Amino acid sequence: MYLLFILLFPLLIGSALLIFKPKNAFVISLAASLIELAATAFVLQEASLSPVSFSAPWVAEAGLSFSLYVDGISGVLIGLCALLVPFIVATTANTDRANNSQFQGLMLAMQTALMGAFLAKDAFLFYFFFEASLLPIYFLAAIYGGENKNAITFKFFVYTLFGSLFFLIALVFVYLQTPGEFHSADMDVLYQTAKGLSADQQGYLFAAFFLAFAIKMPVFPFHTWQPDTYTVAPAQGTMLLSGIMLKMGTYGVIRLVLPMFPVGVATWGLTASVLSVIGVIYGSIIAIQQKDAKRLLAYSSFAHVGLMSAGILSGSIEGIQGALYQMLSHGINIVGLFFVIEIIERRTKSREIAQLGGITQFSYPLTVTFVILSLGSVALPLTNGFIGEFLLLKSVFDQNLTLGIIAGITIILGAVYTLRLIQKSMFGNVSRITSDFADLTGAEKAVLIPLSALVILGGIFPSTVLGFSEPAVQQLIQWFK
Amino acid sequence: MTAIIALSLLGILNLFLGFWLSRKTIQAATLLFLVGSMALTAMDWNHEMLWYGHMFHTTNTSVSFSLIIQLAAFMVVSFSKGFGIDEEHTHPAEYYAILLFSVVGAILMVSFDHLIMFFVGLEILSVAMYVLTGSDKRNLRSNEAALKYFLMGSFATGILLFGITLVYGATRSFYLANIALAITNTPPESTPIFLSIGLLLILIGFLFKISAAPFHFWTPDVYEGAPTIFTMFMSTVVKAASFAALYQLLNGPFGSMYGTWVYPIYYISMLTLLVGNITAVYQQSLKRMLAYSSISHAGYMLLTVSAKQVTTPSTILYYSLSYTLATIVAFGVVMLVAEYQTGRTEKPENISSFEGLAKQNPGLAFCFTIAMLSLAGIPLTAGFWGKFFVFSDIFNRHVYYPVILAIVMSAVGVYYYFKGIIAIYFKEGDIERIELPGLVKFAMWACTLGTLLLGVYPSIVKNLF
């Protein structure tokens, strides 16, 4: 029942905000997300002892059940989601947005969809939330977005929907092979059933599943929607997209692709890894050349997720553990970084890197937190990014030396674009538009300081999370070893 | 069964009521009649029976289809305030009466056990539709649409009747059960060739009625020309009734001739999906786009008919219901906005005249959005499960290529349905608040909530039988 609560509570509050349009939507939304965080922490506490599950009949005549499940893997993801949403909500403090209750309501509705995808034990339930999450984010981006939002958000919607349709066909195909009169889409049953498929079938199905997740993450060459959408969406929409939503893709690969199609992964996994690593390098190189800070972060996110994808596809414990840890760290870092850019944009009305400079003279706290978050993103030792990237790179090395070496360049390239961003914006000469830069407000500090603290804590105490997820990863690996 | 007698009598009563009651009262009376007939229909649930010399068969399947048809009629009547025709020239009583008669025809079409009964039902429905299409008699387009529909419709009816004759010649019976027996008992080498020809002619007649490509050319013109309220009726009731009848024919008496009809159906449904979806992308008029969308939905439903699984009737039922609910709202909003825009813009039904609707009319915009999402088949709405059940039924037959095409086409569908959503939410426009009568509001929200409810919990309909 707790699982049902953490799934539906945000939606409930979110729809109330959408319908009744209260004046103090921000307070309600923040309180709701904090309650959600507390409830999720409680669930995770339970799940650290043994997996927690909930099941109810749903579409019984099609063998689908409304079953939710929290183990070490989904636990990390729902923890990430519940942790980030309060921060994302808090970044809207003191902004006077027209129709704020609608904005907050859509964010909370989005949280339910994301939670649902991570909680689902039934593959169709996963698909259901995977797709449903598109609606709130689409409206967030299309209503509150920037220039040329209609065309860009529409492309995003159709592109991702198109990919998931192949996922749906492939899923239906496996589902119909399951035994029993009504079939079943329970993930364990699907794992078992997929074992009986021929190598060819596994290959095709792998391709169909991976396509959907590759578009969501995105992996090269399916990333063309991503930079535009990240740039055009309002800051909170971008945070939701990059901080949490792209993890649905990586989570999908861990949860569905690896255990269902071991043969498919063995045949095509390397190709997919190569694509992912191309994305790592390509994204980093393009990020170096960006003029727009938000777009730079979009490409950096593209590069990071490529490494996660390559690590997961290696199929080793280090790869999966590293990816889980990196999902968490990347979520924290990228939300913080996007918020820094948002703060700069609010004050200077610009995201052009060339026009910024010397901000450190006006806001020391912003500089410190920005540097810490960036170092986390660069994967410096003692930051959270280091743990994840280290494990991921190790898994790629073990799988294929050449690929590992190429992927390793990402650390250097990442340092180049991130440090360049810090240098050009924070240090150097004060520019015309930064000359009256106001220091951080209390609300802004309340977001950036805890996030920076998490970056360092995550670098020092990784075992809390890794120990939590390990049993589940061990168990998952049995399906394809 | 008593429902058809009641509806016929009440229809006649309705005509007389027109002499001394006001428009509003007649509308209320018609709604009441429909509720009554739905109750009568529902009483046949779990009472399988044969009537009229075994020509009329009430089963749970036929009862549920009859209920959907009457539900659609109920919603259409709720939306009708003057039928979108100018006040002076309307005779509401006649239209309500014709609506009731056509519902009788539709019920016959979903409950027949005899080809003549089927034919009579189809004709009652079709003739009523020809009249209603032309009901806006001062409007040239309405006249053109009625004439076109009538000419093409009667031609198709002729072909259908010819097909029935040939089948009768080959099997010496009109009864579905006897036809089935005759077909299975005749060895394949001595089966007369005109049985297959008869079947194909019947199919062609049907494909015309459900507007499958390449027999769809009348549809956009007729849907666009007819008063929107009747387009709404046509695209829901006629579709649901025809598909139920088609399923019953193909899987009943002609079930053993599966090999003869299944490939034509595959190819035609694929062609229909292609034509419907791709042409819809290029439409400027929202009403015409919905006409093409209805063609494309015929493609999905045709695929289901060919699946021949135990779950197929419930899939058709579910799909018809989800399509009906969404289509009623979609046409309803088109009707309301077009009425508001008449005189304000050149082409009130164009997508451009819906721009900025959401600003002052959030409720209307929300219902329209849900309807579009459902037609596009996005999760959380009934349309998603409709498509899901269709695809999994076909997959169960291990037929892949039509499904893959259907899935690609549903992505195309997202594109044009979203054009409507983008227009109402994200484009600038100056539509003021549109006041809605209580009944219209009720019907709109009932359909929308129904769509959402079915989208979250499809079992309520899917496991009826």
Report pLDDT for B25. Answer: 82
pLDDT (average), residues B222-251: 91
Other Cβ atoms closer than 10 A to A222: 21
Tell me the chain A residues in contact with residue B456 when contact means C-beta distances shorter than 8 Å: none
Other Cβ atoms closer than 10 A to A160: 25
Q: Is the predicted pLDDT of residue B85 greater than 70, yes or no?
A: no
Three-state secondary-structure class, residue B212: coil
Condensed to tens digits (0 to 9), the pLDDT of residues A299-308 reads: 999 999 999 9
Q: How far is A196 from chain B (nearest CA, A)?
A: 17
Report pLDDT for B88. Answer: 54
Condensed to tens digits (0 to 9), the pLDDT of residues A331-364 reads: 999 999 999 999 888 888 888 888 888 888 888 8
Tell me the chain B residues in contact with residue A135 when contact means C-beta distances shorter than 8 Å: 373, 378, 380
Spatial distance between the Cα atoms of B400 and A201, rounded to a whole number of angstroms: 13
The reply to whether omega before B192 is within 30° of 0 (cis) is no
Tell me the chain B residues in contact with residue A173 when contact means C-beta distances shorter than 8 Å: 395
CA-based nearest residue in chain B for residue A156: B415
Tell me the chain A residues in contact with residue B426 when contact means C-beta distances shorter than 8 Å: 142-143, 149-150
For helices B193-209 and B140-171, angle between their N-to-C axes, nearest 10 degrees: 160
Question: In which residue are the tokens 């409810």 written?
Answer: B453
Spatial distance between the Cα atoms of A134 and A155, rounded to a whole number of angstroms: 12
Q: How far is B51 from chain A (nearest CA, A)?
A: 32
Spatial distance between the Cα atoms of A174 and A206, rounded to a whole number of angstroms: 11
User: Are A332 and A376 a contacting pair, CB within 8 Å?
Assistant: yes
CA-based nearest residue in chain B for residue A18: B362
pLDDT (average), residues A66-77: 90
Task: Write a three-state SS string for chain A.
Answer: CHHHHHHHHHHHHHHHHHHHCCCCHHHHHHHHHHHHHHHHHHHHHHHCCCCEEEEEEEEHHHCEEEEEEECHHHHHHHHHHHHHHHHHHHCCCCCCCCCHHHHHHHHHHHHHHHHHHHHECEHHHHHHHHHHCHHHHHHHHHHHCCCCHHHHHHHHHHHHHHHHHHHHHHHHHHHHHCCCCCCCCEHHHHHHHHCCCCHHHHHHHHHHHHHHHHHHCCCCCCCCCHHHHHHHCCHHHHHHHHHHHHHHHHHHHHHHHHHHCHHHHHHHHHHHHHHHHHHHHHHHHHHHCCCEHHHHHHHHHHHHHHHHHHHHHCCCHHHHHHHHHHHHHHHHHHHHHHHHHHHHHHHHCCCEHHHCCCHHHCCHHHHHHHHHHHHHHHCCCCCHHHHHHHHHHHHHHHHCHHHHHHHHHHHHHHHHHHHHHHHHHHCCCCCCCCCCCCCCCHHHHHHHHHHHHHHHHHHHCCHHHHHHHHHHHHHHHCCCC
Spatial distance between the Cα atoms of B318 and B304, rounded to a whole number of angstroms: 11
Report pLDDT for A263. Answer: 87
> Which amino acid is it at A186?
D
Q: How far is CA B260 from the centre of its chain?
A: 26
Spatial distance between the Cα atoms of A328 and A317, rounded to a whole number of angstroms: 17
Tell me the chain A residues in contact with residue B415 when contact means C-beta distances shorter than 8 Å: 158
Residue B249: partners with Cβ closer than 8 Å, 6 or more residues away: B118, B176, B202, B206
**Boundaries of domain holding A53:** 2-477
B55: DSSP letter: T
pLDDT (average), residues B34-49: 88
* pLDDT > 70 in chain B, percent: 98
> Which amino acid is it at A246?
L
Report pLDDT for B82. Answer: 55
Question: In which residue are the tokens 């459902």 written?
Answer: B374
Q: How far is A133 from chain B (nearest CA, A)?
A: 9
**Element spanning B78, H or E:** helix B60-79
Q: Do B379 and A128 touch (CB under 8 A)?
A: yes
Show which of residues 344-383 on chain B sit within 8 Å of chain A, judged by CB atoms.
373, 378-380
Question: Which range among A16-25, A113-122, A175-184 has the greatest average pLDDT?
Answer: A113-122
User: Are A433 and A355 a contacting pair, CB within 8 Å?
Assistant: yes
Burial A251-289 (b: 16+ CB within 10 A, else e): bbbbbbbbbbbbbbbebbbbebbbbbbbbbbbbbebbbe
Please, is B267 exposed, middle or buried when counting C-beta atoms within 10 Å of its C-beta (0-12, 13-18, 19+)? exposed
Three-state secondary-structure class, residue B199: helix
Residue A149 sits at the chain B interface (C-beta within 8 Å): yes
**Element spanning B254, H or E:** none
Q: Do B426 and A150 touch (CB under 8 A)?
A: yes
Q: Which of B315, B415, B428 to mutate to test the interface with A (most CBs of A within 10 A)?
A: B415
Q: Which of A173, A197, A215 to mutate to test the interface with B (most CBs of B within 10 A)?
A: A173
Q: Do A58 and B459 touch (CB under 8 A)?
A: yes
Residue A61 sits at the chain B interface (C-beta within 8 Å): yes
Residue B224: partners with Cβ closer than 8 Å, 6 or more residues away: B141, B145, B231, B285, B287, B288, B291, B349
Q: Do A161 and B378 touch (CB under 8 A)?
A: yes
Give me A12's structure tokens: 């409930």
State chain B's mean pLDDT as an integer: 88
Looking at the DSSP bridge assignments, the partners of residue B418 are none
Residue A131 has its nearest CB partner, among B378, B457, B458, at B378
Tell me the chain A residues in contact with residue B379 when contact means C-beta distances shorter than 8 Å: 127-129, 131-132
Question: In which residue are the tokens 């039509």 written?
Answer: B402
Please, is B89 exposed, middle or buried when counting C-beta atoms within 10 Å of its C-beta (0-12, 13-18, 19+)? exposed
Question: In which residue are the tokens 């259409």 written?
Answer: B76
Residue B263 sits at the chain A interface (C-beta within 8 Å): no
Q: Do B379 and A165 touch (CB under 8 A)?
A: no
* Structure confidence at residue B64 as a pLDDT band (50, 70, 90): very high
pLDDT (average), residues B393-399: 83
Domain count, chain A: 1
Size of interface A-B (CB pairs under 8 A): 75
Q: Which of A108, A167, A257 is nearest to B388 (CA)?
A: A167
Q: Do A61 and B410 touch (CB under 8 A)?
A: no
Q: Do A166 and B407 touch (CB under 8 A)?
A: yes
Residue A449 sits at the chain B interface (C-beta within 8 Å): no
Give me B324's structure tokens: 């009906």
Beta strands A52-59 and B49-51: pairing type? unpaired
Q: Which of A168, A176, A177, A201 to mutate to test the interface with B (most CBs of B within 10 A)?
A: A168
Other Cβ atoms closer than 10 A to A298: 28
Residue B403 has its nearest CB partner, among A57, A60, A169, at A169
pLDDT (average), residues B103-119: 92
The reply to whether omega before A234 is within 30° of 0 (cis) is no
Tell me the chain B residues in contact with residue A142 when contact means C-beta distances shorter than 8 Å: 422, 425-426
Residue B411 has its nearest CB partner, among A57, A127, A158, at A158
Q: Do B411 and A165 touch (CB under 8 A)?
A: yes
Q: Do B392 and A61 touch (CB under 8 A)?
A: no
pLDDT (average), residues B126-140: 88
Report pLDDT for A174. Answer: 87
* Structure confidence at residue B269 as a pLDDT band (50, 70, 90): very high
Condensed to tens digits (0 to 9), the pLDDT of residues A365-384 reads: 888 999 999 999 888 888 99
Spatial distance between the Cα atoms of B137 and B6, rounded to a whole number of angstroms: 30
ipTM of the complex: 0.82
User: Are B134 and B143 a contacting pair, CB within 8 Å?
Assistant: yes
Q: Which of B369, B397, B407 to mutate to test the interface with A (most CBs of A within 10 A)?
A: B407
The C-alpha angle B304, B226, B129, rounded to 5 degrees, equals 65
Three-state secondary-structure class, residue B379: coil
Q: Which of B314, B368, B415, B426 to mutate to test the interface with A (most CBs of A within 10 A)?
A: B426
Q: Which of B281, B388, B419 to mutate to test the interface with A (most CBs of A within 10 A)?
A: B388
Q: How far is B123 from chain A (nearest CA, A)?
A: 37
* Structure confidence at residue A1 as a pLDDT band (50, 70, 90): confident
Report pLDDT for A23. Answer: 84
Q: Mean pLDDT lowest for which of B22-36, B75-89, B168-182, B393-407?
A: B75-89
Report pLDDT for A109. Answer: 93
User: Are B430 and B352 a contacting pair, CB within 8 Å?
Assistant: no
Q: Which of A66, A152, A154 to mutate to test the interface with B (most CBs of B within 10 A)?
A: A154
Residue A64 sits at the chain B interface (C-beta within 8 Å): no
Torsion of CA A410, A415, A416, A419, to 10 degrees: 160
Q: Mean pLDDT lowest for which of B62-71, B74-83, B214-223?
A: B74-83
User: Are B99 and B62 a contacting pair, CB within 8 Å?
Assistant: no
* Structure confidence at residue A50 as a pLDDT band (50, 70, 90): confident
CA distances from A377 to A54, A305, A334, B55 (A): 36, 12, 8, 75
Q: Which of B314, B304, B290, B383 is nearest to A131 (CA)?
A: B383
Residue A143 has its nearest CB partner, among B407, B425, B458, at B425
Tell me the chain A residues in contact with residue B462 when contact means C-beta distances shorter than 8 Å: 59, 61-62
Q: Is the predicted pLDDT of residue A228 greater than 60, yes or no?
A: yes
Condensed to tens digits (0 to 9), the pLDDT of residues A131-153 reads: 889 889 998 888 888 888 888 88
* Structure confidence at residue B87 as a pLDDT band (50, 70, 90): low
Tell me the chain B residues in contact with residue A56 when contact means C-beta distances shorter than 8 Å: none
Q: How far is A426 from chain B (nearest CA, A)?
A: 36
Spatial distance between the Cα atoms of A201 and B402, rounded to a whole number of angstroms: 19
* Structure confidence at residue A186 as a pLDDT band (50, 70, 90): confident
* Entry pTM: 0.88
Residue B385 sits at the chain A interface (C-beta within 8 Å): yes
Q: How far is CA B279 from the centre of its chain?
A: 20
User: Are A42 and A8 a contacting pair, CB within 8 Å?
Assistant: no
Other Cβ atoms closer than 10 A to B250: 22
Q: Biggest alpha carbon distance in chain A?
A: 72
Three-state secondary-structure class, residue B171: helix
Spatial distance between the Cα atoms of A130 and A124, rounded to a whole number of angstroms: 9
Residue B311 sits at the chain A interface (C-beta within 8 Å): yes
Spatial distance between the Cα atoms of A124 and A170, rounded to a whole number of angstroms: 12
CA-based nearest residue in chain B for residue A161: B411
CA atoms lying within 13 Å on the CB side of residue A362: 22
